[in-house]
Amino acid sequence: MRSDRVSLLAEMALAVALSAALWLLGVKLPWNIAGGTVALDMLPIMVVGLRRGLVPGLITGALWGAGSLLLDPYIIHPVQLVFDYPLAFALCGLVGLGTSRVRETLADGKRLQASSLVTLLVILGGAGRFVSHFISGAVFFASNAPTGQPVLLFSAIYNLSYMIPSTLACAVLAVALYPVLERTVPLQRSVLERAASSQRGIS
C-alpha cells in the first residue's frame, strides 16, 4: 500500500514537471494576447488519468494548473485565476472516467477500439478545459471582443484557436504512448483493483 502511494505521488510529480517542460516548448499564437498556448502540457496529466483513474488525473491537473502560475500568469480577477489555471487543467483529468474500460479493451487485444476510446477520452478532457476557459473569457475578457462581435462567439473562437490543435496533438500522442506504458511500466494489481472500484463507484 505504501509503495503504491509513493509510486503514484512520483508519477504525479513527474507529470507536473513534464507538463512544465512541454509548456515551455509551446507556441503562443499572435492573437492570444490574454493567454493560451498551443502546447502538449495536457498530455502528462491525461496519461496519469488514463493509467491511474479520475481522482489522480484531476489532482495532477490542478497541481499543474497552480504551478503554471509561476511561469506566465495572466490574472485580472481571483475567480478568473481559478477558471483559467487549476480548474481548467484539473478538468483534463476527466480522461480518468474511462480508465478501466480502456485497460480492459486493450487487454482483450482490441487495439483499434482502445485507441478510439483513448481519443474520445482525450477529447473529453480537452473539452472540459475548453469550457473552463470559455466561461472565463466570456465573463472576464468581454472587453477584448471586437466591436460588434458577440462575446460568446469571441470567447469560443479565441479559446478554440489553441485548444483544438493542442487537444488533437495530445490525442495522437496518447494513443501511441498509452499501450507502450501499459506494457513497459505496468501497474501493480492492487492499484488496478482500486482504480476499477473507484470507477464503479462513480458509475
Higher-confidence residue of 202 and 161: namely: 161
pLDDT per residue over 121-135, tens digit each? 999 999 999 999 999
pLDDT of residue 38: 94
Q: What is the DSSP string of the chain?
A: -HHHHHHHHHHHHHHHHHHHHHHHT-B--TT-TTS--B-STHHHHHHHHHHH-HHHHHHHHHHHHHHGGGTS---SSHHHHHHHTHHHHHGGGGGGGGHHHHHHHHHTT-HHHHHHHHHHHHHHHHHHHHHHHHHHHHHH-GGGSPTTS-HHHHHHHHHHHHHHHHHHHHHHHHHHHHHHHHHHSPPPHHHHHHHHHHHHHH-
Q: Which of 46, 74, 69 is nearest to 158 (CA)?
A: 74
pLDDT per residue over 29-87, tens digit each? 877 777 789 999 999 999 999 999 999 999 999 999 999 999 888 999 999 999 999 99
- How many structural domains is the chain composed of? 1
* Mean pLDDT to the nearest integer, 162-172: 97
pLDDT per residue over 83-93, tens digit each? 999 999 999 99
- Domain coverage including residue 94: 2-202
CATH of residue 88's domain is: 1.10.1760.20
Q: Which three cell numbers stand for residue 111?
A: 487495439
**Percent residues over pLDDT 90 in the chain:** 77
Model confidence at 193: pLDDT above 70? no
10-14, 21-25, 182-186: the lowest-pLDDT one = 182-186
Model confidence at 185: pLDDT above 70? yes
